[in-house]
Amino acid sequence: MIKEVNYRVIYGDTDCGNVMYYGNYLRLFEIGRTELIRSTGLSYKEIEEEKGIILPVVEVFAKYRAPAKYDDLLTIKTSLKELKTHKIVFEYKIFKNTTLLTEGYTVHVPINREGKIVKFPEDIYKILKNLLKK
């Protein structure tokens, strides 16, 4: 499954060259990831508060192909690339119209509130498994 979310570049996203600052693409990755999970009927908030599971980013990769600029309307396309009991990998592609601007991925591990790596609870794992790219 691929989830699409639109995002308009605000002035605060840009640097002095009127180009979106490279670190802000990670915020767009987070927006895409959050909305992909929300599309299952589950939210990050529920995973954290009800299940006690936190999903920190342990690895990130981004490849920048073309710049986004102030007021550009972007489309964030997010999918789940890999799911294991102790790891999840999301893929992202950010477009302006049909032009691919940035692509990348994030790797996350489920941890408990004490910071220990744990397995995904069975119910959460099943929900996330339905998101895997076919």
Which residues are part of the catalytic machinery? 15
Round to whole Å and give the CA distance between 28 and 92.
Answer: 9
Round to whole Å and give the CA distance between 60 and 133.
Answer: 19
Round to whole Å and give the CA distance between 102 and 24.
Answer: 11
Round to whole Å and give the CA distance between 33 and 21.
Answer: 20
Paired strand residues for 62: 104
Cβ-Cβ contacts under 8 Å for 71 (sequence gap 6 or more): 8, 9
Q: Which amino acid is at 5?
A: V
